[in-house]
Structure 1
Amino acid sequence: MLDLVKVAAQMGTVGQLIRQGAIANQQKQTRALAVLTAMAENLEHYRQALQEWGESFPFNAAEPLESLTVKHTVPPAPRAHTIFATDGSQIAPSHHEIAYCYLINVGRVAIAYGQSQRPHLDSVPQLVYDPDELERSRGWGLTIEDWLRYRRTQAEMLALVELLHTQHAKAPSLALVDGSLIFWAWESLPSMVREELLRPILAAWDQLRAKRVPLVGYVSASRSHETVNFLRLGVCPYPEPNCALHCGQGSSTVLEVTRDRPPCHVFDALRDVLLWQAHLAPQQHSSLWRSRSRILEHYGAHHIYVAYLHGGSEVVRLEVPQWVAQDADLWQRAVSLTAAQIQKGRGYPVALAEAHNLAVVRGSDRQRFFALLERELIKAGHWHVAPSPKEQRKRQSIV
């Protein structure tokens, strides 16, 4: 049981630290806006520097495709349109339960606006009992939790495309998923594992491209620094921004100029959303930026581009494949329909909220799931079916 009285005694320190951090971020935000404006006057120079020296950077910086200071007004959404969305959750395997299996549950939503159709709302559960698969994941150096999360991401993407095939939308459509389309953690996976996860997803995206349905990864409360990191070039004092040479370990110049910290670290901890929150007004979005994450080398024609949209209650990160970013009609549709979803949901897309509600596995669902599994095991002849003594005891209390 949590003792809130003891917790409350520690809250004062936390509040002070948060306030100090907010003041520091505001100062960095002001500095970043000034650098953004200055760099816009010589943008091509900085883009060339990024392309030439980016491999030496110890950070990931995105590449802008337009003027840094441009602000686009969100176009109005067509009256008739269709939104497809998926989200997922899971029950992780546990050695303390009656069977070592896992469940992935994907919520699917299709909402047709202005077409006199009822919304499609359902969930697709996938029960997996495959000891060999779980053993393989351990052999690859992955935890069961990581492997399950990666498989859930894959299931969400495949369920989205399957939903499009069954609904046959006639009006302009948008495919929406919660979270990033850049699978950052997959970069360090063994190549065979990465291909097993990524290949079906890219094939599904090929189908979206053929149907001309734009795909958007909606990232709320993004912690990305990709666009802010590009501004580091604007404060670098060296004629060539070679981080490995000037600011790497053992460099003699780093101590003289920065007193143990590289000059570009003035933007440390400043997230992209804070920069664009200060630059954009509600119902405006930034220019598109090309992400330079290394995992995208494996995406082929689906390289990911990003932009920031001020939806009113927050600035959100939108991620789209290259074929959406390079098609003006698809990109404008993606922005307008996403913004319309934010307005309809009073701050968060309706379709994503509904997909989440359909996917989430609550405590009562978990109990019924294992009760159903226990019944089936007994029917199959397993008479000694019960959780471990530890798990049984944890479910009881003397309080």
Structure 2
Amino acid sequence: SDDSGDLYLTDPNNPAQEAALTGPLLGLHRTVRELERLVQAVEDCPAELPILALVDGSLVLWGLSGRAYPPFVKEALVQDRLLVALSRMRDMAERRPLCLAAYVSLPRSTEVVNAARTCLCPFEVGRCRRSCSNRRSALSPCNLANELLDRDLFQRILEPGWRSAVYRTNSSVPRESYGDQQICFFYLHAGEEIARVEIPQWVANDEKLLALSHSLILDQCHRGQGYPVAISEAHEQAVITGADRQLFKQIVSNILDREGLPTYTSEKERSKRTPWV
């Protein structure tokens, strides 16, 4: 699929094989499209300004993990689009002060906690299943970390304004599909919450860009009373109003009329639009 309005992805090697852009797949497509639009917005900015390109959510397409999507779906979303957008960002960052980051509010990740489990385990690596079987799971030493989230850990460690060390995500999606565009993350005490901030490897490797992302995100949170104001304003602009819904219905109705197809509505809806004498 391209931006011509198609609602499905097509296998270039087998046009008869398609995947409808519905449900979780539509969400993944929207995430990629938002990143592409962000790249375009950065390209339109004055070259001398330092820029934080901020994404709401994650840079990892978690929806691809554990789902049996055909290979052409992953190729269309990741190789053909997501990685292209990330590469364009990286190329611009070589010519101007630019950092890309994704802000995850109230994160439920346990990647750091899972790594800490190894410190609680007295057994050799690779003996987990043999040493702690399902029958003895209640006695496992690493159970001390059960139900503990990364944000719980860093709530006790970080002072307001501080960030954690930088880690690289162990998600199978970037590990298997992102190539040299691996995703890293750190935790930030934004004042009101512990947030997870995801950054590409090229930002993590550059101390100046890393510091820029830290300071600008913190400034955004201060301006937004604990949450990045740029994301809050984007949410406000994305709200669909009643007038928007009515316009959409009218557009659909006009298309159906033009194609000679019937339009249906409830009597309740019809009565709302019919004046009473």
Fold shared per TM-score above 0.5: yes
Amino acid corresponding to residue 129 of structure 2 in structure 1: A
Which deviates further from its counterpart, 190-199 or 326-335?
A: 190-199
Which deviates further from its counterpart, 154-163 or 190-199?
A: 190-199
Amino acid corresponding to residue 128 of structure 2 in structure 1: C
- Structure 1 contact 177–218 (Cα < 8 Å) conserved: yes
CA distance in 2 between counterparts of 1:157 and 1:362 reads: 24
C-alpha spacing 1:237/1:159, structure 2 compared with 1 (3 Å): same
Aligned to 1:330: 209
Matched, 1:349 2:234: no
Aligned to 1:274: 152
Q: Report the number of matched residues.
A: 255
Structure 1: 5+ residue stretches without partners: 1-125
Cα displacement (A) at 1:349? 0.9
C-alpha spacing 1:247/1:132, structure 2 compared with 1 (3 Å): same
Q: 5 Å matches for 1:1-399?
A: 128=5, 130=7, 136-137=18-19, 144-187=22-65, 188=67, 189-199=69-79, 200-212=81-93, 213-240=98-125, 242-248=127-133, 255=136, 258=137, 260-297=138-175, 298-378=177-257, 380-382=258-260, 384-387=262-265, 392=266
- Structure 2 contact 166–204 (Cα < 8 Å) conserved: yes
CA distance in 2 between counterparts of 1:296 and 1:170 reads: 32
C-alpha spacing 1:300/1:277, structure 2 compared with 1 (3 Å): same
CA distance in 2 between counterparts of 1:137 and 1:343 reads: 43
Specify the SS of the correspondent of 2:44.
helix
CA distance in 2 between counterparts of 1:210 and 1:132 reads: 28
C-alpha spacing 1:276/1:385, structure 2 compared with 1 (3 Å): same
C-alpha spacing 1:393/1:288, structure 2 compared with 1 (3 Å): farther
- Structure 2 contact 9–76 (Cα < 8 Å) conserved: no
Specify the SS of the correspondent of 1:269.
coil
CA RMSD in angstroms comes to 2.5
Specify the SS of the correspondent of 2:19.
helix
Amino acid corresponding to residue 84 of structure 2 in structure 1: A
C-alpha spacing 1:146/1:153, structure 2 compared with 1 (3 Å): same
CA distance in 2 between counterparts of 1:221 and 1:334 reads: 19
C-alpha spacing 1:129/1:364, structure 2 compared with 1 (3 Å): farther
CA distance in 2 between counterparts of 1:322 and 1:161 reads: 17
Cα displacement (A) at 1:347? 1.0
Specify the SS of the correspondent of 1:285.
coil
- TM-score (normalised: structure 1): 0.59
CA distance in 2 between counterparts of 1:227 and 1:326 reads: 19
Amino acid corresponding to residue 336 of structure 1 in structure 2: S
Amino acid corresponding to residue 140 of structure 2 in structure 1: P
- TM-score (normalised: structure 2): 0.83
Amino acid corresponding to residue 308 of structure 1 in structure 2: Y
Specify the SS of the correspondent of 1:386.
coil
C-alpha spacing 1:149/1:395, structure 2 compared with 1 (3 Å): farther
Cα displacement (A) at 1:266? 1.9
Specify the SS of the correspondent of 2:60.
coil
Structure 2: 5+ residue stretches without partners: 11-16, 272-277
CA distance in 2 between counterparts of 1:367 and 1:150 reads: 27
- Structure 1 contact 226–291 (Cα < 8 Å) conserved: yes
C-alpha spacing 1:383/1:194, structure 2 compared with 1 (3 Å): closer
- Structure 2 contact 203–210 (Cα < 8 Å) conserved: yes
